[in-house]
Structure 1
């Protein structure tokens, strides 16, 4: 099995030109066949023996190119998953054009929050998955009843806020790195408010103890965070009411806001707010990928060995894990 990828483009529902086009890169487990199509066009068949493929939709951080998450997409595809990353240049905020995960601002207000997804592009991405199920190298090979939403920073936030089967019945789990649900005072919330999450599917929240971006952005929420991980911990404790045993909080020792990004791009986003990572970056990424993979294997693929390994991490003393909790 070798990981392959292809590109697609589609229009985003309700978006206005020129900011209405989204470009997808779809990673999948491939199997070299030696065909003429493979030789001449680089189109490699999917490894159908691993199908049907459960699907991860990954939402990037604001002004974070999807290529910085390719390392993670490849590692998840090596586990037998299809992973969708995307690039969308849009004007989510008036006068601000950015590479966006598609934050639906109108769904974050006090009067609308919780009534629908905050991920604007989600319906478009789901429609595109239906198209991929009907044509191309993944035709008939996708398990569209098992979709996992994941993301980084603002993309992680919309992933975990939108993971509600009442909105999207096919969504069965979510994960986020460097994300929380603190509410912006600019849109009418009291200082320090943590907004609730759907609590309907398994969830993994991951953060780093050296996340300077979160720590130095607290003014948006009318409060000074005690630690870089404070809003992530509060989200786990306050935004999640269920205690099914499939909600996880993972804090990585020495990781910063962009420890999930490789290769790191210092030209966009807010890397100047971040603190230096104090642990080897490759080792941190390996832990991120391993824990996300185990989480999906355990709670989406229902692999008992993966669940047992997660349980072992809850009581072990991994040098790169500052805190690992479940409820």
Structure 2
């Protein structure tokens, strides 16, 4: 098996988006792809559950390719994308696709806030239905896991309802929370609840310089600012023993990215973001793989109970 990427475009509610579906390729059939580069799927574990990775603001999806490789090795397919849309006062750039009107005080929690998930999953259904596609009939859209980083993680958290995301089985997020900016009309330091109708994994770094530097968006007081832990405590009311908070010692905002693109986004807020500890990244991959496997009822190399017992985990909770 080799990991291959199938590139496609889609319309994310008016924003142009480029996506890549990573899938297990059959390395015994490379001669068939000699002229086209389209390697037929290795259907050993097919049809594959789908993991959708929602990007952070101005974070190129290449930074998540390592994670796609890690999860494809578990018998999954993984889709990354970059939609180019409005970033508010910051102009335009890479966005995970958030309908900010759906996050206003009078509408939050009443309807989906993701503008990309619906069109993206519809496009994947077309790719799987196309008999000429290398992944024809191999994508299982009844088993979908949505994950994200930073603002992409926030989008994943807010849309953790299978009635909004068909096939949704679990949600994970790194360096994300549901403390809402006061510019959207919410009170200071307000953490809003989310549906959490599926298992949840909330991951954070103990040395997240971007979240620390962003506090002015949410509050003007000098109180403790730990929106990730508060999100697990106040926003996720699920009590079925399948949801986790895991904080990694020494990890920053971009620990989930390899490489870190220092030309865009806010990586300059963390002086060592481009040299994140590979061991932390490996643990992140193991945690996401183990959580995803457990949520889908599939085997994995390690389980969550074993992984959170490592010295690199500075804090964890389960409920």
**Bucket of the pairwise TM-score, normalised by the shorter protein:** over 0.9
C-alpha displacement of 1:35 = 5.6
Distance change in 2, residues 1:38/1:268 (3 Å): same
C-alpha displacement of 1:276 = 3.8
C-alpha displacement of 1:12 = 2.6
Structure 2 match to 1:250: 246
* SS of aligned partner of 2:268: helix
Structure 2 match to 1:10: 10
* SS of aligned partner of 1:41: coil
Residues 259-268 or 244-253, more deviating: 259-268
Match of 1:82 among 73, 77, 81: 77
Partners of 2:222 and 2:249 lie apart in 1 by 18
Residue 287 of structure 1 pairs with residue 279 of structure 2: no
Partners of 1:128 and 1:219 lie apart in 2 by 38
Is the 2:58–2:95 contact (alpha carbons within 8 Å) kept by the matching residues of 1? yes
Partners of 2:265 and 2:72 lie apart in 1 by 27
Is the 2:201–2:245 contact (alpha carbons within 8 Å) kept by the matching residues of 1? yes
Distance change in 2, residues 1:56/1:202 (3 Å): same
Match of 1:65 among 55, 60, 63: 60
Distance change in 2, residues 1:223/1:235 (3 Å): farther
Task: String of CA shifts for 1:225-252, please: whole Å, max 9, x gaps.
Answer: 7667x11000001001121011100100
Task: String of CA shifts for 1:28-76, please: whole Å, max 9, x gaps.
Answer: 0111233653111111111111101000111100000000111111111
Match of 2:134 among 118, 132, 137: 137
Map 1:136-215 → 2, pairs under 5 A: 136-215=133-212
Partners of 1:220 and 1:79 lie apart in 2 by 38
Partners of 1:225 and 1:177 lie apart in 2 by 25
Structure 2 match to 1:311: 305
Structure 2 match to 1:326: 318
Residue 122 of structure 1 pairs with residue 117 of structure 2: yes
* SS of aligned partner of 1:250: strand
Partners of 1:169 and 1:299 lie apart in 2 by 16
Structure 2 match to 1:270: 266
Structure 1 match to 2:213: 216
Length-normalised TM-score, structure 1: 0.92
Distance change in 2, residues 1:238/1:278 (3 Å): farther
Distance change in 2, residues 1:210/1:138 (3 Å): same
Is the 1:31–1:47 contact (alpha carbons within 8 Å) kept by the matching residues of 2? yes
C-alpha displacement of 1:224 = 5.5
Is the 1:28–1:46 contact (alpha carbons within 8 Å) kept by the matching residues of 2? yes
- CA RMSD in angstroms comes to 2.0
Is the 1:212–1:275 contact (alpha carbons within 8 Å) kept by the matching residues of 2? no
Distance change in 2, residues 1:83/1:36 (3 Å): same
Aligned residue pairs total 317
* SS of aligned partner of 1:249: strand
Is the 2:157–2:178 contact (alpha carbons within 8 Å) kept by the matching residues of 1? no
C-alpha displacement of 1:313 = 3.5
* SS of aligned partner of 2:107: coil
Q: Which runs of 5+ in 1 are unaligned?
A: none
C-alpha displacement of 1:187 = 1.2
C-alpha displacement of 1:311 = 2.1
